[in-house]
Amino acid sequence: MALFDFDMLIAGAGPAGCTLALHLAPTGLQIGIIEKDIFPRQKICGDALSGKVLSVMKRLPGDVFHDFENTVAKIPSSGIRFTAPNHKSIDVPFLRSPAPGQSAPGYVCRRSDFDQFLFDRLKAYPNVSVFEGDAVVSAMVQPGFAMVKTGKHEFRGKVIAAADGVHSIVRKSLHNTHPDKKHYCVGIRGYYENVTGTHPENYIELIFLKELLPGYFWIFPSTGGLVNAGFGVLRSRISEKKVNLVHMLDNIIASHPLIAPRFKNANLTGKAEAHSLPLGTFQMARTGNRFLLLGDAGFLVDPFSGEGIGNAMASGEIAAQILRENFSSNVFSAESLATYDARIRKRFSQEFRTMTVMQYLASYPRLINLVINKSLKNKELGDMLSAMYTNPDIMTKLTRPGFYARLLFR
């Protein structure tokens, strides 16, 4: 079995792993990326790219964002349509205007296309070696290096970044974590043609159905005249109800009074597929001796919205900042890498606490109905909803019981 030596090992070539590699590549470090799939690959996702994704992408070295804007197929999106369990809807535009050179505040882009775009950027760097179709079997730390074994090779590096997803083998090998089902969401999606009623400005739609709360059904306009439609629901609820996800998706599309008319002539292209999402409700250390956990491997998915791409890329960016210091000192102990953990907590802790409360509140259909009903009648409330994803103070207000008490008297 061949042995390869690198400065930096990265398990996984998704958004987290590619972001880390692209930030470190200009340093000249020898970087080895181990990826179980062969690109182009399919990735189960809602495909929405938030302003958070675009912000991180703009800070990547070179003309990455410019190339994305000009070469990748995508649908510009200008806002969100929220639909309450009582079937009333409110359109919430993104208040943040597009930055110079940016055509929209958000996009819907197929994950297969987006991941391929980032992956292809790695080819510009001769010091980055990618091993596709090579699944990690185990990881270990030895004096002076970290080691990864796959079905084909062995790899050594000074440090390893685990960006190998929700079922991370690196995390299972090096980190003693045992999260229960309440810290996972399950999402299922399919691509449909001939769906009617999409928003003229391509707003993404979040439809809160009683049977899914605190999850939701989504309809996102996609490229090629298709829509990405599906739902996310807590894994604990799936286990409790013994739900068949495909049957549940088919039933909602065929019989729900709000959704079925829009899918009357729709056809599923391909098949509906499901995937687990590791939520930021699980608190854990994301570093240890010679390793870091990024993205889904580090449980960084938003507990309320289910967003994972922006958080994964942010973790890769933060890891790169820390690792530059570690490579400068040539120290990769748990204590030295703990700075990454501290910056991840600083970046996400308040957001995750807030979104965890939002997840809890979204379990109550009457509460969602109240917010939507009042927002339709009160411009101030509507503006608050528009700003909640760009203004943390507003999101915090939405988690306070007094806010909902005052709503009753508006």
Tokens of residue 225, six digits: 């005249």
Predicted model pTM? 0.93
Looking at the structure, tell me whether residues 289 and 273 fall in a common domain.
Answer: no
Closest CA to 188 of 251, 217, 231: 231
The whole-number average pLDDT for the span 374-383 is 76
Looking at the structure, tell me whether residues 136 and 66 fall in a common domain.
Answer: yes
Looking at the structure, tell me whether residues 223 and 347 fall in a common domain.
Answer: no
Looking at the structure, tell me whether residues 333 and 380 fall in a common domain.
Answer: no
Looking at the structure, tell me whether residues 226 and 297 fall in a common domain.
Answer: no
Question: What pLDDT does residue 98 have?
Answer: 61
Amino acid letter, residue 277: L
Looking at the structure, tell me whether residues 142 and 191 fall in a common domain.
Answer: no
The whole-number average pLDDT for the span 113-120 is 97
Q: Please count the CA atoms within 13 angstroms of the CA of 368 that sit on its side-chain side.
A: 26
Instruction: Count the domains in the chain.
Output: 3
Residue 220 — pLDDT band, cuts 50, 70, 90?
A: very high
Question: What pLDDT does residue 64 have?
Answer: 95
β pairing state of 136-142 and 128-131 = unpaired
List CB contacts of 62: < 8 A, sequence separation 6 or more: 121, 124
pLDDT digit string, tens, across residues 35-57: 999 999 988 899 999 889 999 99
Question: What pLDDT does residue 221 have?
Answer: 96
- Give percent above pLDDT 70 in the chain: 93
The whole-number average pLDDT for the span 132-153 is 95
Looking at the structure, tell me whether residues 50 and 117 fall in a common domain.
Answer: yes
- Burial (0-12, 13-18, 19+ Cβ within 10 Å), 401: exposed
- Residue 158 vs residue 240, higher pLDDT: 158
Confirm whether 95 is domain-assigned: no
- Residue 24 vs residue 91, higher pLDDT: 24
Domain endpoint, select from 335, 354, 373: 354
Looking at the structure, tell me whether residues 172 and 143 fall in a common domain.
Answer: yes
Q: How far apart are CA 15 and CA 294, in angstroms?
A: 10
pLDDT of 97 over the 80 cut: no
Confirm whether 54 is domain-assigned: yes
Looking at the structure, tell me whether residues 197 and 237 fall in a common domain.
Answer: yes
Looking at the structure, tell me whether residues 267 and 287 fall in a common domain.
Answer: no
pLDDT of 11 over the 90 cut: yes
pLDDT of 392 over the 90 cut: no
Residue 101 — pLDDT band, cuts 50, 70, 90?
A: low
Contact 319, 292 (CB under 8 A): yes
Tell me the residue range of the domain where 68 lies: 2-77+105-178+282-354
